[in-house]
Structure 1
């Protein structure tokens, strides 16, 4: 019989409720912030430039976040719907250009490649003079002391306000951004008040960023990072040593538990195993912490370091969510299959077969659920890595090409996977059937998504790939049968009497109270099938319930041999 429905239904509903609560709690935190990687763009007073991150909608506005050292500073806006006129660049484009402009003030980029810088130095030394300005990192004249930087407001002819940076040694202001009407509407402030607020904020943040990129701060940060890495490395070495000690003690504790030499040996074994797993998790956490320390050694990587530190917790939460999902799906699969197995429309003679198929399908479908959740977990984890999450479309296409190549390499496994699904749905065999596949005969002990395991009569296990199961002989599907071959001497004088005697024994076996319930039909005498130089081959047919043919055949054959031995 199939498992009781109410218990499975209650289990599935409880797991579904737990999954809903977990997903609801996971929906509260905001999306993680990625570290800014915008390259410096040419100064653009109008704030135009290449596309940035995906814009976020906020009612009638699209938003773009401007970051300094990877930390959000201000949010610019643009109309979400263009009414037909030129509404200017989108907020994401503006944020990209503004970040490039701000970046020039605290982390100037050299406009030349390494080869161009070497070439310029050679030309400057050999013939030309004064060419170093082209490849000078300070070619815009924006470097200087942090307190010397000032952010000023420049009124625009159309009534807006432009924020620009004033740096000693530079005669003209360096434009940073233009405050628009959409910025003022979104922030709920007058344009002049918002411009003044942003001016003060950017001035303080830019001065702080210039101090962070000072040589003294960078050297101090590197020293702290090296000391921290050394301490973490020593701690990891200690943890690894303790883990090795716990691993070496496990076999000894297992032997003591098997010998039952101590009262607290089982508890000590469990505690040692738990301690070993805790140490292994601690090694992973220390490795993640070391990666975060390396990121913190360079300015502007604080958000990335925080993301790295949070990755184990995020991965754990993803694993728990998908574990709940897998549990719910396995429960639902079991519930639906149990309902299918106990359907009232199934005829009585097919119920045993339906139950047998239920066990096979339940095992395989639960494995498929586990495999799907594992693949989803791997994909979800990979997409959560900031570097991989922001890959370009070319990188995605390249990864697709790699997956296509892997599919060609492992096409045999894919063929086995598809063949396994076809075998199950087509009901060629199930767990418990006695089958012949490719000349191998045995009982099916496991049906997987890639292969089938047979237990032969000599107890050997044969693993057959599912793609090799094109021709299957099933001896136990719904019913079983066996042919009995009796050899009578060719010189027999009373052939009719011998056949009559065989028929009587077949009738007696069919009416035996012990064997009659296992027979689907009374045993039938087929008659003489072949004749050799010495013998006559007489055959009889035995039809039994699934899997009962072997024992019944041996019993009937023994009775016939015993009966014929006393016949003249």
Structure 2
């Protein structure tokens, strides 16, 4: 006989110790009896038979699922209608002037507003789906007497862990949502984000994709953008400084530049496609012992200031040469 006693085997639960179908039915019946609005009413339709609470609870679960799906579809349709109405707006550039370019700009602005509205609508639809379906499933689990407290606790702990691990991602998403809501920039805009300057090619809730003048593509996380300079929103301004000799006649130079401004405004191609209003001559911008600097400024349509400025330089140079007035380098 061995001196060491063998350890007693761990008890294995038998089938008799597991909850029986009758016990589960009893739990469901107790839940059904507490629901005097729907489940108990359905059970009464079956003359309160022994199986009535179970059948009534199953019908209640089915109705909850159907109700959740219906509510989700209604909310998604409401979001779609709000997005469609938000995307429609009246002409904006027509308040400046009439013309084919104004209509083209209005079309671009509407398309930009439509893209922004659809992006926000997609985000709202995802959030609505998660909230409604999640609430529906938790209600069904509670109806089936499945304890949801441990599940909620686990989800809460998991959410805290994910929140700590994905702080930058959440920051990018929140910044992207506010950027879209405030319409800070959109596809096709020329912006300065500090880290890069270029044309926006794509905007998502997480990143913004830019292409600079060298063709280099930049991917910038929305959460890292602290300031944005948009050169394509509303209108832009082109200007050029004209340095002439100190001995030049101020009136003659000013009249010459005003003539250039009237000439480019009279050009149908520029007036209809690039300019918002007639260019202005602001007079002497700088004065030194050897140079007079005149400034010529023009308000242009978005992202057209560079082309207008180039045309102004050509016309001013030709006008000065014709008047035998030399431009001098500035210090």
What is the TM-score normalised by the length of structure 2? 0.64
2: distance between equivalents of 1:398 and 1:506? 71
Over 3 Å counting, the alpha-carbon distance change for 1:53 and 1:483 in structure 2 is farther
Q: Against the structure 1 CA distance between its residues 441 and 534, is the aligned structure 2 distance closer, same or farther, given a 3 Å change threshold? A: farther
Aligned residues: 268
Q: For residue 461 of structure 1, what is the aligned residue in structure 2?
A: 217
Aligned to 1:193: none
Q: Which runs of 5+ in 1 are unaligned?
A: 1-36, 64-78, 83-183, 189-317
Structure 2 residue 171 is matched with structure 1 residue 415: yes
Q: Does 1:186 align with 2:49?
A: yes
Indicate whether 1:364 and 2:119 are aligned. yes
Query: Is 1:504 matched with 2:259?
Result: yes
CA 1:62–1:549: 2 relative to 1, 3 Å? closer
The correspondence for 1:40, drawn from 1, 17, 22, is 17
Q: How does 1:27-176 map to 2 (within 5 A)?
A: 40=17, 55-56=27-28
Could you say what secondary structure the match of 2:116 adopts? helix
Q: TM-score, normalised by structure 1?
A: 0.40
Contact 1:356 1:432 survives alignment (8 Å): no
**Residues 62-83 of structure 1: per-residue CA shift (max 9 Å, x gap):** 67xxxxxxxxxxxxxxx6599x
The 2-side partners of 1:533 and 1:54 are apart by 103
2:286 corresponds in structure 1 to 530
Q: What does 1:467-486 align with in structure 2 at a 5 Å threshold?
A: 467-486=223-242
Are 2:317 and 1:340 aligned? no
Q: Which residue of 2 aligns with 1:208?
A: none
CA distance in 1, matches of 2:202, 2:35: 60
String of CA shifts for 1:288-331, please: whole Å, max 9, x gaps.
xxxxxxxxxxxxxxxxxxxxxxxxxxxxxx9xxx9xx89x94x8
The answer on whether the counterparts of 1:333 and 1:365 sit within 8 Å (CA) in structure 2 is: no
Question: Given that residues 86 and 114 in structure 2 are in contact (C-alpha distance below 8 angstroms), is that contact kept between their aligned partners in structure 1?
Answer: no
Structure 2 unaligned segments of length 5 or more: list them.
Answer: 1-13, 37-46, 52-64, 96-104, 325-331
Larger radius of gyration: 1
Question: In structure 2, what is the Cα distance between the partners aligned to 1:545 and 1:346?
Answer: 12
C-alpha contact 2:189 2:233 (8 A) present in aligned 1: yes
**Structure 2 CA distance, aligned partners of 1:536 and 1:410?**
58
Shift of 1:494: 2.5
Whether the 8 Å CA contact 2:200–2:210 is kept in 1: the answer is: yes
Cross-structure match for 2:319: 563
Distance 1:369 1:449 in 2: 12
CA distance in 1, matches of 2:26, 2:320: 90
Change (3 A) 1:470 1:39: farther
SS of 2:49's equivalent in the other structure is: helix
d(CA) in 1 for partners of 2:291, 2:195: 29
C-alpha displacement of 1:401: 1.4
Q: Conserved in 2, the CA contact under 8 Å of 1:452 and 1:464?
A: yes
CA contact (8 A) 1:506 1:524 kept: yes
